[in-house]
Amino acid sequence: MTTKSCSSATASSGWVGEAGAVFWKDLRAELRSRYALNAMAIFAVTTLVVVSFSLGPQALPPPAVAALLWVVLFFAAIASLSRVFLREEEAHTAAALRLAAEPVHVYLGKLLFNLVLLLALDVLLVPLFLALMQARSGNLWLLALVLLLGSVGLAGATTIVAALIAKAAARGALFGGLAFPLLLPLLLAAVSGTRRALEGASCAAAGAELRLLVSFAVVMITASILLFEYVWSE
Amino acid sequence: MLETDAGSGPAGVGEALPPVTLAVHDLAKRYGQRGIFRGVSFTLQPGQSLAITGRNGSGKSTLVRILCGLLRPSAGTVAYHLGERPATPRERRGLIGLVAPDLILYEELSALENLRFFARVRGLQRSAAALEALLAEVGLEGRGADLVGTFSSGMRQRLKYAYALLHRPPVLFLDEPTANLDEAGVAMARACIARQRATGILVIATNDHEELQFGDRILRLGG
């Protein structure tokens, strides 16, 4: 007996289309529910206000501004990016997704969603932060490049950690606890690169930091793609 | 039956698949020291059906989750074969359809958006008309644009059937198939069961005596 199926078990429209579907689904759901956006915005605004009020009119040197900026970005990411898998587990939608989607497409779609969220945060937060800190970027292109590469690495690491902790009981503490040591090399390179950008250094002068940021993102995303199936399977 | 968009599907759509076999050997599940079930073995081929029954907590839903690949067994194997060869993980996803109480669809999305999303992640292309036809088949005509969060429990159950039938799976698992359904919904579910029994593999987990008759064989858990 031969089974005729409208579907094809071997059919494929390509990983871009399938990962893109996961991304658009998450984006649409986020724009309607605003779980992650609200968490991120509240944390970022609160931190900015507290820092600017505590410092008053005093201008900080570039190393302190760079460190503060990445502290804010890191904690805003911690507060919101874990939602990407938590929401699937809490709403019990993960089973439907597991049954239908290729694990690597789920990871890539969720990575893209977290990256877009982080880049949106960068665009909104960084100008405001620099204005409140009375800091200027001496090399705007370098600052943009460091933020972009740092955000890719941050999204790559937080997405896989979010998948790891989604089924755990003490998720909040676990997410920060696991993400921080993993992200330490990235944060150090990003802070150093941002400091150089604020001081007006050239891209060549920040070569070491940029190489580290690229390497971190490549290693983290590659390892995540390879490991995600084991993390995602129940 | 749901129309398939001519020429819009990915390569392989509509192609005849080799016959599917579901072979389960010496399956066991335990949580810590507590054994749920053990020694479950059976083989199903197209046109065959199995009804799983047992008291609450006997592991009916757990067994269905294991058969679908959503949960790992403590011992034993679950194998899907296409003809003589084992199905790849991606092929396996295309073979299985599931309706279950703990399977939830996205509440922030409309019924149509849910179906479109699941079609895309399965690598299928379905037009809005084909998805509307599928919704009509499960009794949700005209409700495609409504958010799933606004649906009643019966409507959600109907949407789960649309989700499960989206890719016309050769193997269909129904855990409590008529839960929350009204009379018309039960008729829809039974029509779906009859179709699947005729063409594919059907596994039903239930304690309803009427539904047990849909299994050619009955597997009793917990005793």
Listing DSSP states for B35-65 in one string gives EEEEEEEEEE-TT-EEEEEESTTSSHHHHHH
pLDDT at residue B190, as a whole number: 95
The domain spans of chain B are 20-221
pLDDT at residue A14, as a whole number: 81
A-chain CB neighbours of B107 within 8 Å are 91
pLDDT digits (tens, 9 = 90+) for B181-223: 999 999 999 999 999 999 999 999 999 999 999 999 999 998 6
Cβ A201 vs Cβ A139: under 8 Å: yes
Domain containing A171: what range? 16-232
**Best of B4, B72, B106 to mutate (most A CBs within 10 Å, chain A):** B106
B-chain CB neighbours of A20 within 8 Å are 120
Answer whether residue A41 is part of any domain: yes
**Best of B2, B67, B108, B113 to mutate (most A CBs within 10 Å, chain A):** B108
Read off the pLDDT band of A111 (50, 70, 90).
very high
A-chain CB neighbours of B4 within 8 Å are 6
pLDDT at residue A38, as a whole number: 85
pLDDT at residue A136, as a whole number: 83
Half-sphere exposure of A234 (CA within 13 A, CB side): 19
| Residue range A106-134: mean pLDDT, rounded | 93
pLDDT digits (tens, 9 = 90+) for A130-161: 888 888 888 999 999 999 999 999 999 999 99
A130: closest CA of chain B, how far (Å): 36
As for the ipTM of the complex, it is 0.89
Closest chain A residue to B11, measured at CA: A11
Read off the pLDDT band of A81 (50, 70, 90).
confident
| Residue range B100-105: mean pLDDT, rounded | 95
CB contact under 8 A, B167 and A5: yes
Of the listed ranges A49-63, A130-144, A196-210, B88-102, the one predicted with least confidence: A49-63
CB contact under 8 A, A18 and B12: no
Answer whether residue A9 is part of any domain: no
CB contact under 8 A, A95 and B107: no
| Residue range A72-81: mean pLDDT, rounded | 86
User: B2 pLDDT exceeds 80?
Assistant: no
DSSP reduced 3-state for B209: helix
A230 at interface of B, judged by CB pairs closer than 8 A: no
CB contact under 8 A, B123 and A29: no
B-chain CB neighbours of A233 within 8 Å are 72
- Top-confidence residue, A58 or A18: A18
User: B11 pLDDT exceeds 70?
Assistant: no
Instruction: Give the β-pairing of B20-31 and B75-82.
Output: antiparallel
Sheet of B75-82: strand order equals B34-44, B20-31, B75-82, B85-86
Answer whether residue A3 is part of any domain: no
What phi, psi does B105 have (nearest 5°)?
-100, 170
Question: Residue A79: which of A219, A199, A175 has the closest Cα?
Answer: A175
Answer whether residue A5 is part of any domain: no
Answer whether residue A11 is part of any domain: no
User: A185 pLDDT exceeds 70?
Assistant: yes
pLDDT digits (tens, 9 = 90+) for B54-85: 999 999 999 999 999 999 999 999 999 999 89
- Top-confidence residue, B4 or A174: A174
Residues in chain B: 223
pLDDT at residue B70, as a whole number: 94
Mean of the per-residue pLDDT values of chain B: 90
Residue with tokens 């959600």: B156
CB contact under 8 A, B9 and A2: no
HEC string of chain A? Answer: CCEECCCCCCCCCCHHHHHHHHHHHHHHHHHHHCHHHHHHHHHHHHHHHHHHHHHCCCCCCHHHHHHHHHHHHHHHHHHHCCHHHHHHHHCCCHHHHHHHCCHHHHHHHHHHHHHHHHHHHHHHHHHHHHHHCCCCCCCHHHHHHHHHHHHHHHHHHHHHHHHHHCCCCCHHHHHHHHHHHHHHHHHHHHHHHHHHHHHCCCCCCCHHHHHHHHHHHHHHHHHHHHHHHHHHCC
DSSP reduced 3-state for B6: coil
Question: Residue B41: which of B16, B66, B9, B61 has the closest Cα?
Answer: B66
Read off the pLDDT band of A5 (50, 70, 90).
very low
Question: Residue B19: which of B48, B50, B46 has the closest Cα?
Answer: B46
The fold adopted by the segment(s) B20-221 is Rossmann fold (3.40.50)
pLDDT at residue A169, as a whole number: 67
Question: What is d(CA B114, CA B103) in angstroms, rounded to the nearest whole number?
Answer: 13
pLDDT digits (tens, 9 = 90+) for B37-48: 999 999 999 999
pLDDT more than 70, % of chain B:
92
Quote the number of domains for chain A.
1
| Identity of the residue in A12, A33, A98 whose CB atom sits nearest the CB atom of B123 | A12
B40: closest CA of chain A, how far (Å): 21
Burial class (CB in 10 A: 0-12, 13-18, 19+), A203: middle
Residues ≥6 apart with Cβ < 8 Å to B161: B99, B138, B188, B189, B192
Mean of the per-residue pLDDT values of chain A: 88
DSSP reduced 3-state for B132: helix
User: A6 pLDDT exceeds 70?
Assistant: no
CB contact under 8 A, A32 and B71: no
Interface size, chain A vs chain B, as Cβ–Cβ contacts under 8 Å? 157
Half-sphere exposure of B85 (CA within 13 A, CB side): 6
Read off the pLDDT band of B4 (50, 70, 90).
very low
User: A72 pLDDT exceeds 70?
Assistant: yes
A-chain CB neighbours of B117 within 8 Å are 21, 24-25
Cβ A106 vs Cβ A58: under 8 Å: no
A228: closest CA of chain B, how far (Å): 14
B79: closest CA of chain A, how far (Å): 15
A-chain CB neighbours of B19 within 8 Å are 1-3
CB contact under 8 A, A93 and B13: no
pLDDT at residue B10, as a whole number: 34
